[in-house]
Amino acid sequence: EDTRASFTSHLYAALQNAGIFVFKDDESLPRGRQISPSLRLAIEQSRISVVVFSKNYAESWWCLKELEKIMECHRTIGRVVL
C-alpha cells in the first residue's frame, strides 16, 4: 500500500505548516536506472531525511536506491535519518 495519499501527505502538510522546507519524492520525478540528478541533489542537500516505510517498500527497487543514497549521506557527511 502506497502511503503518499495518506500518512505521507499529512506529514508533508504538517511540516510545511510548521515552516519547514520539505522535498517530497513524487510520481512526476523521472524513473530510470539511476536516481535522477534532481532527487540526488535534494537528498544530498537535506539536513534530515524522513523515510516512511510502506508495506511494500522493500519490494521497490526505486525506494531501495533512494534509501541507499540517503544512508550514504548519513555515513559520509553525517546527515540525520529518521
What residues are labeled active site?
66
Closest by Cα among 23, 14, 8 to 53? 8
